[in-house]
Amino acid sequence: MKKINKPIESKDIKMNVDRLQRLQIIPKWSHKFIGFHNQKEVVSIIDKDKVTAEHKCKELLLNYFHQITPGLTKMPLEYYNGVVAYVGEKID
């Protein structure tokens, strides 16, 4: 057997996971993130990709802050009193 010394890239793993899920060899799952402002849930998102879900939740939370402070300078998320929390994953 020929040995390949090429490192595995994350895109290769993602493609293989997607393929195995389509073939129903492994289950599909989704990840949930919630955005909080002053301990109150204001946004949430569910996506099959954990990184994408976190990014979308941060965008939604930032848009929330921009909507509640119209006319003020738009700042990055770090300057607001907001937290993005990972709730967990769910097998579909």
Here the tokens at position 92 are 């579909």
Question: What value does the mean pLDDT take over residues 56-61?
Answer: 96
Pairwise CA distance, residues 15 & 25, whole Å: 14
Rounded distance, CA 85 to CA 43, Å?
A: 11
pTM of structure? 0.73
* Domain regions of the chain by residue span: 29-91
> DSSP letter at 6?
P
| For range 62-88, the mean pLDDT | 91
Q: Write out the DSSP string of 25-82.
A: SS--EEEEEEEEETTEEEEEEEESSHHHHHHHHHHHHHHHHHHHSTTSPP--GGGSSE
Residue in the structure block whose two tokens are 């997607």: 18
Closest to 58 (Cα-Cα) out of 35, 25, 27, 90: 35
Q: What is the pLDDT of residues 40-55, one digit of tens each?
A: 999 999 998 899 999 9
Residues 4-42: tens digit of each pLDDT? 666 667 666 667 777 777 787 777 789 999 999 999 999
